[in-house]
Amino acid sequence: MKDFKMAICQMTVTDNKDKNINKAYSMIKEAAQNGAKLIALGEMFNCPYDGSYFPKFAESLPDGKTYNMLKACSKELDVYIIGGSIPELHGEVIYNTSCVFDKEGKLIAKHRKMHLFDVELNSGLTFKESSYLGKGNDIVVFDTEYCKIGLAICYDIRFPELSRLLTLKGAEVIVIPAAFNMTTGPAHWEILLRTRALDNQVYMVGASPARDVSASYVAYGNSLVVSPWGDIMSRAKEGEEIIYANLQGSLVKKTRDELPLLKHIRKDIYEIIIK
């Protein structure tokens, strides 16, 4: 892994897709002008996080306004873009999908959210993603010129097996486009990111949309970058903001050398396997 500067664009998502795309472009541009080489967006950055909007905002890949903006933008600005997620239409099914582009504008990875957020919380918040979305089945790790990155989306972070499998596949950084809410965000978001960082001795990058209290689903914001030692390196507040972090190439190895957790796994007793 090499040293590099990254950014998270925590943007306000509206019910106007073009406005969302333009906002993402201008924030990515600002982050690139400030020296970020890898730039991440939040979950459903082109569409309100509300199932009733997904069919209208969905795009068939590899095409569509959002996809084409990200592709052109990564090439124009010479940056890697982790394109948060968008509703992807594939046949009859919509997926919650994250697309990653390299500096040439080439799609180098695509992750479809694997674990769907079907909950009824005592706070009154209910969400049933499976009424609108299909499940992804692939465990996605990709290479960049800086590091190996594992990708997961929001609720996926609650399943430690997935982060461990991403790590065992070589991830040094795990990026999670996400939209936690005002119930589980304050309670669990930071703890989950720091725990996954500690479990796996990886950088954890959690990219949220900005909070919009007028939306039907209110995102927590608080995008975070956590080091392999579990330290918070950068944290957004609730509003629209770009945050930056300088990822140090040697820190993953240094942490793993100091505390050799991955070497101490009792593979003779238990195993996590991909079916």
Question: Does residue 85 bind ligand LYUYDEPV (CB under 6 A)?
Answer: no
Closest CA to 173 of 223, 110, 244, 228: 228
What are the angstrom distances between the C-alpha of 266 and each of 134, 168, 199, 253? 35, 14, 15, 20
Residue 7, interface with ligand LYUYDEPV (CB under 6 A)? no
Which structure tokens are listed for 171?
């991830």
Q: Which is nearer to ligand LYUYDEPV, 44 or 141 (CB)?
A: 44
Active site residue 43: yes
Q: Confirm whether 113 is a catalytic residue.
A: yes
Does the annotation count 128 as an active-site position? Answer: no
| Pairing, β 4-10 against β 126-128 | unpaired
Asked whether the CA dihedral 170, 27, 115, 264 is positive or negative, the reply is positive
Q: Write out the binding residues for ligand LYUYDEPV, residues 152-171 only, by CB under 6 A.
A: 154-155, 158
Between CA 201 and CA 194 the distance in angstroms is 10
Q: Which of 80, 117, 142, 203 binds ligand LYUYDEPV (CB under 6 A)?
A: 117
- Number of residues interacting with ligand LYUYDEPV: please give it, by CB under 6 A: 10
Both tokens of 147, joined, read 């590091």
Task: Give the nearest distance from C-beta 120 to ligand LYUYDEPV in angstroms.
Answer: 12
Instruction: Write down the catalytic residue from 9, 47, 99, 154.
Output: 154
List contacts with ligand LYUYDEPV (CB under 6 A).
43, 117, 154-155, 158, 179-181, 184, 188
Which active-site residues does the annotation give? 43, 113, 154
